[in-house]
Structure 1
Amino acid sequence: MGKSKNKKFKRPQFSADGLPVSLVKEEDVEESEPAVESPAAELLDKLQSPNADVREYACASISRMVQQSQVIPSFLQRDAVRCLGPLLLDRSLAVRETAAGALRNLSACGGFEVCEDMVKQDVLTPLTALLQECSTAFDSTPLLKSEQTEQWHTVEGVANEAVNLLWNLCESCSQAVTIFNKAGLLDVLLRCLEQRSHNVELAVSAAHCLHAVTEENSELLGGLQPSVLRLLESVLMDNQSGMANLQLRTLIAGSLWTAYDIRNKRQTYASKGEQGILGILSERAAAMCILGEVAEFTEISRCTGWPHSLPDHSAVCVMRFVCNSNTQQHGQHTQCRPRSAPRRSACINVVCLLQATDAELREATALLAAQQTSLEIIVNMCCSDDPSDDEWEEMSSSDESEMCPDSMSEGGSCLLSPLCLSAEVHSALLNHSIPEKVLRKTEFPSSAAVEVCNKSLAWKCLIKKMQRVQCRALTCLHNILSSMEVEALGGATALQTLAEHLSKLVFGMPEVSKQEEFLDAATSALRSLLQIMASRSIPQCISPQQLMGLSEAATRCDMVSVRVNALAILGITGSTLARERNSVDSLQLIGNALLEVATRDPNMVVCGEALDALFDVFADGKEAEQAAQNIRLLPALKALQPVFKAKLRKEGKGKYSQDQLCVLDNIRINLRRFIGYLESLDRSASA
């Protein structure tokens, strides 16, 4: 229904279909076998033991068990949060660490509702005290290094678990962010960042948390002191080697971009801030391609610092594909965040997932995480929150309809005129070849890499991470297409080549049809591209048969946004075909498919998109008139009209947002007018 809106990544509260979603546990962790019976009561009783070892054992056991979502209710019913909370300040550092780990996993695997409940149960009070104690401990100088080294690392271990718990809560609960601001916990995160030279894991955790709390947090960002910005910039410019450091700098770049994007500050910092950050992000982008020519193993070893004794020769190939970076640029990175879909899974403490010797896996995991974040940041750079003047003008279809925004969060469809990027951002995107680098990451992960990862349980988690990077790249491409002029993207020839590439992604891999995240990202990008090509009368390369296949796949998809994108693609292509000769048969295929969806789909947003596409396809032209007569479009729409109107009146207010209802009401009015138009054609033909 209108132009495809670009995407933005931010802290989610609702799923693609408009319903509350729970924060899923880390997708890349293999689920344990479901427990037949949960010994929750016994373990919670052991938390009260006078023996520190027993308390630590109980916390560790709970930490493992709550990774199985089906046992979480049994712990919550017995006040697990109130039992674990006081142990964050236990006299034993080991108990503190395992208690924080248990709460961390509970928050990650329990979802939004559990996180909100944890905040309501005041878990942030002992957590804040713990974090402040850890921050103070960072400043203490050990008198006897040999005796206190272990304790020092334990304090940092406690801090790491606590920061991850804080990250999960702030990612899922706005009240947690409010408490974060009032408690001044930013200072704690900054102290953790200062430990990066000897504990990069803690610094990365703090950067993740900072990345979460800066999202839409004007209270925090509006009061940032110059010293804070200088510290973050120093982390960003730190050229320490290793993928974890790249991940750290990527996350900091995202936080800085958010800080400099505050409306009342952005213009004053545009020249230095945007250009500087984009330059670093772009250089990292050049080093983060998953696919490409296989690099020499010695170069990979030199670039990453990994040992030569990888598991086997095939594993070397995996690392080459995952880490095809160049030695001059490996210290740079990019970062980004996608649309109004979940930004990322919350952080979970997985016991024994990565052993200390798994350096290669840790490096690969950090690299892919940095790539994902990089793409998400670029997505947000090319995203606008506010409707343009053209948008508002386009939204009013008649005087009978109230002007309202077409922000169809459920279907992902919105009217949107081309974005007006700042000159600095636009120039930097082009100067650093960001569109080309993003395009390279939209390719499917190498089959060789996937095959090798499948052979190892530990390495198998990389497959989903590579796929997620591809999806983020497709979403990034969607926003770039929506925000840049055709000439800046290479002109008509470049767009045709891109259309062929996206068509191969969407139509060339049948096995991905069940991967909803991929379908959502790919169809969004394809829809945006086809809109641009249609507006410029650039020939398209999608056959009617491919369109029918896409329509069938979308019909089977549970995601509303995928179905909406597929219908929009049918409408765009059909309206183009209507201007061509000998297109009656193709238009009939498209028309029948759209009528089927408009009549049968249970979601009114999808039905509305199908009707809107029908209006576009059969609006004008002799070919369209003939096709409309052949499929008996007029009587079909006459029969559908009262059903659509009654369904809108009956279901609308309770199921759809005000913005969606506004758009659907416009479609109701346009349906009546379109029927009148078809009737006039019928009278003319009869005369």
Structure 2
Amino acid sequence: MGKSQKKRSMRRHNPMRVPDSHLPKGLASASSTSTKNEAILPIIQKMESPDASDRKWACVAVSNLIQNDPSTRRLLQGKNVVGALITRLTDSEEEVVIEAMGALRNLCIDGGYDICAEMYNKNILTPLKTFIPKISGMLSQYLEASKPALENTQRLMYDFADNMITTLWCLSETSNKALNAINAINLIPFLMSFLVSRDKLSIAPVIAAAQCLYVLTDDNSVAIDTLKSDAGYLSCLLTIAQSAPRSSISNGKDATDQRRITLGVLSSGILRNITPLPQPSAASAVDLDKDIVLPLLHPVIASVSLPEIVSNAQKLVDGLTSEPQLEKLSLKDTPRSDHKSSAELELEQLEATLRTVQLALEILTGICATLPEPSAEIEGEDEAEDEEIDVDMTDDHEMMDADDMNPVESETHDGSGKFTVMSSLVPPLLSLIHPTALSFNPLAASSPHPPTTSALSAIHISAMECLNNIFLSLATSPSPSVSADTEGGRKVWNEVWASLAVVGTEFGLGQERRQEMWEVGVGVLWGVAVVWKGTLSGTEEQIQTLIQLCEGSSDEKTKVKCIGALECLAQYPHSITSNQIIAHYLLKLLPPAPASALFGAESMIQAASALIDIYSDETLPYDVNFRQYDMLQNLVASVEGIRKAVRGIDKKKPGGRELRRRGEEVRDNLIAFIQYRRRLGLQS
């Protein structure tokens, strides 16, 4: 059982905001699925026009054409639109540069890693680096001037800064090579300047700077050390997190308040990324998680209504025109990178709300990954984080023998009272795992609004990851009061199954998020089944679904989770039929059964361990299956095959040493178990 860690794959642009995996590969297929073929060539030609207004028009057109349209994005990529836009970043006309930067930013957040990698390979960082001192200089002029600059001029600068910083944020997640190149720019002082002067600036570039900082401080020692070396930076981040509204982030809330909440959430995430904080400092004097992060994040996840947001989004989508009218693009007004309608801007605001919820869940996933909390001491927290790396291969016996540290009954302040993990975190997390009408791509078509779908599916998966970590913590450190609440366990079990039932099991191209939901969800089921082992009985349909997922998955860890959940269900004392079905399936995963060849060593080891656990108490009612179907002989026949499989585990591969150790332990336990059952001499 492994805890979910904060992962780069959960960021905004990966999975892609506008996915294209459902499309066949190749430009020919993109051309056949795009309705805008005729517009591509004029755009590329005008990008190189001697007339600045044509070049500007072409950059604006790119932003309009790619909106929620992966086919056209692919076509433009095939015509080297990335290279053409990067060239325009050094254009002699400022307005062209502004529009080119906006188009590149939109390509980044819509297209994900592939486009970001292409931008990096085509040397986008060279022009971007030249913009940093220019923006810094303009910021200083605005802040120091006795008379404020024209509103239009300021807005242009803020929009440009927002677009450039967002592009750098996306690029920093492309590869280690790109991250190292961005580290060399020394962006931290530039980004922190926006946060320090946040009260005097537009909120959009401030949030973009915080987003970039949040990503750069994720397991990146260069950025972390730079931030920690300046007490002023730490004080600024702490002030933002402490002063952020402790309230819900909902569809009807004022946009300014929502952005302040978003900024606070980001600041708390940055502070968590760089912990432990240096002493002495104002930030090191507080209990970051209990006093700041949880009180800030809890209202964000507890009061958001996904059905309400989806209802409003559907109304807005229904009111959108189906095709952008390129011929109606006006270049007479002030240059602007988006050129969006009011409905499109409202949809973006809804998406921003969803992304803040996703961000809060991502940070909570990290908090839940460190449970149980042994103490407030930094050394104890570090030890817990180190130990969680190895918990993946721990079997249920070892989990139940862990030190008696109880995360569930430890009190956590919410600003006005106290709450426990089970009573305050689990209910809102359960509400966020239930899919809506826009949560996943339809099986036979693309989403009516891909950005909303991308955000919703990310929320469901992030909420599942939080639950996964909570119930793994409970499995590792049992709480008698929680385990005794069998009704509560059944409620959690049923809610997780209900959400997964809506997701469905039809995977494939364009349905990767459905599959990921199941891969995380089955880990939650395993954790819940361990906590309430012996009191949860799975239905026949649930058992068959777990078996089918185990057989159909190509991911070894998903197979192990399925086996773990089945093992727990088999230990419901009064369900003799379910026990028989599960045990016979687990025996098929052991050599010399032909089906065992389709499973890896980790699955085989888990199945053997499961059978030992299930039949370790011969007094239970379902033990009749072990005797009646002569399972002892099957286990005897499997010993040599398991021995060979364990011996064949490569200890040099990642996780190989630990898997080999566990395999040897299970092999020895199996031999001892066989001897024990033989000594019992029980007959059917």
Same fold, TM exceeding 0.5? Answer: yes
Structure 2, gaps ≥5 residues long:
24-28, 246-253, 317-335, 371-380, 506-513
The answer for the alignment partner of 2:615 in structure 1 is: 618
- Map 1:213-228 onto structure 2 (within 5 A): 213-224=216-227, 225-228=230-233
CA shift digits 1:341-400 (9 cap, x unpaired): xxxxxxxx9967x633556534432222222211221221232496669969xxxxxxxx
Aligned match of 1:124: 125
C-alpha contact (below 8 Å) 2:86/2:124 kept by paired residues = yes
Distance 1:315 1:602, change over 3 A: same
Q: How far apart, in 1, do the equivalents of 2:599 and 2:563 lie? A: 15
For residues 138-162 of structure 1, what are the alpha-carbon distances to aligned partners after superposition, in whole Å with 9 as ceiling and x for unaligned? 2334999999433332222221211
Match of 1:431 among 418, 425, 438: 418
Indicate conservation of the 8 Å contact 1:530/1:572, yes or no.
yes
Cross-structure match for 2:52: 52
Residue 573 of structure 1 corresponds to 569
The farther-off stretch of 140-149 and 491-500 is: 140-149
1:496 Cα deviation after fit:
4.1
Which residue pairs with 2:519 in the alignment?
Answer: 520
The answer for the alignment partner of 1:84 in structure 2 is 85
For residue 262 of structure 2, what is the aligned residue in structure 1?
247
Does structure 2 conserve the Cα–Cα contact (< 8 Å) formed by 1:290 and 1:441? no
Separation (CA, whole Å) in 1 of partners of 2:473 and 2:358: 20
Q: Are the counterparts in 2 of residues 516 and 559 from structure 1 also a CA contact under 8 Å?
A: no
Aligned partner letter, 2:99: T
Q: For residues 478-512 of structure 1, give each alpha carbon's deviation from its aligned partner in whole angstroms, at most 9, with x where no partner exists.
A: 32344469797953444641343223431576332
Distance (whole Å) between structure 2 residues aligned to residue 121 and residue 98 of structure 1? 19
Indicate whether 1:172 and 2:174 are aligned. yes
Q: Following the alignment from structure 2 to structure 1, what is the Cα–Cα distance between the partners of residues 155 and 231?
A: 31
Matches of 2:658 and 2:479, distance apart in 1:
35
Q: Deviation at 1:169?
A: 0.9
Distance in 1 (CA, whole Å) between partners of 2:93 and 2:542 is 64
Tell me whether 414-423 or 636-645 shows the greater mean CA deviation: 414-423
Q: 2:586 aligns with which of 585, 589, 594?
A: 594
**Structure 1 counterpart of 2:413, one-letter code:** A
> How many Å separate the matches in 2 of 1:263 and 1:204?
25
How big is the alpha-carbon RMSD for the aligned residues of Structure 1 and Structure 2? 5.1
- Aligned partner of 2:469 in structure 1 is 479
The aligned counterpart of 1:498 is 489
SS in structure 2 opposite 1:382?
Answer: helix
| TM-score of the superposed pair, with normalisation by structure 1 | 0.72
Instruction: Letter of the 1:436 partner, please give it.
Output: S
Residue 609 of structure 1: aligned partner = 606
Q: In the aligned structure 2, how far is the partner of 1:67 from the partner of 1:543?
A: 41
Matched letter for residue 471 of structure 1: I
Report how far residue 181 of structure 1 moved.
Answer: 3.3
Aligned counterparts of 2:236 and 2:623: Cα–Cα separation in 1: 66
Unmatched tracts of structure 1, length 5 or more: 15-21, 295-299, 301-309, 317-348, 393-403
Conserved? CA contact 1:500–1:541, under 8 Å: no
The AA in structure 2 aligned to 1:97 is I
What does 1:327-476 align with in structure 2 at a 5 Å threshold?
Answer: 355-357=341-343, 360-384=346-370, 405=390, 407=392, 417=402, 427-428=412-413, 431-433=418-420, 435-443=422-430, 450=437, 462=452, 465-476=455-466
Cα deviations by residue, 1:647-679 (Å, 9 ceiling, x for unpaired): 6777x559x933146415632663465256436
CA distance in 2, matches of 1:528, 1:146: 58
Which shows bigger deviation, 214-223 or 543-552? 543-552
Distance 1:371 1:545, change over 3 A: same
Aligned to 1:563, what secondary structure does the other structure show? helix
Distance in 1, matches of 2:461 and 2:556, equals 17
Q: Equivalent residue for 2:237?
A: 232
Deviation at 1:568, TM superposition (A): 0.5
Distance 1:431 1:145, change over 3 A: same
The match for 2:213 among 207, 210, 213 is 210
Residue 187 of structure 1: CA displacement?
A: 2.6
Give the drift of 1:95.
2.2
Q: Given the superposition, is the C-alpha separation of residues 423 and 595 from structure 1 closer, same or farther in structure 2, using an over 3 Å criterion?
A: closer
Given that residues 89 and 130 in structure 1 are in contact (C-alpha distance below 8 angstroms), is that contact kept between their aligned partners in structure 2? no
Spell out the pairing of 1:64-83 with structure 2 (5 A cutoff). Answer: 64=65, 82-83=83-84
Distance 1:367 1:131 in 2: 29
Q: Contact 2:407–2:473 (CA<8 Å) still a contact in 1? A: no
**In 2, Cα distance between equivalents of 1:504 and 1:423:** 20
The one-letter code sitting in structure 2 at the alignment partner of 1:378 is L
Tell me the CA shift for residue 85 of structure 1.
Answer: 3.0
- Go from structure 1 to structure 2 and tell me whether the alpha carbon gap of 1:268 and 1:165 turns closer, same or farther (over 3 Å shift): closer
Distance 1:272 1:670, change over 3 A: closer
Q: Relative contact order (C-alpha < 8 Å, sep 6+): which is higher?
A: 1
Do the aligned partners of residues 287 and 367 (structure 1) sit closer, same or farther apart at CA in structure 2, a change above 3 Å counting?
farther
Amino acid of the structure 2 residue aligned with 1:513? G
Alignment size in residue pairs? 607
CA separation in 2, counterparts of 1:459 and 1:390? Answer: 41
Partner of 2:509: none
In 2, distance between residues paired with 1:672 and 1:527? Answer: 25
- 1:628 equivalent to 2:630? Answer no
2:276 & 2:556 partners in 1: Cα distance? 31
1:244-299 residue CA offsets vs partner (Å, 9 max, x unmatched)? 3322221222112223445888998153544431364156347634279x9xxxxx
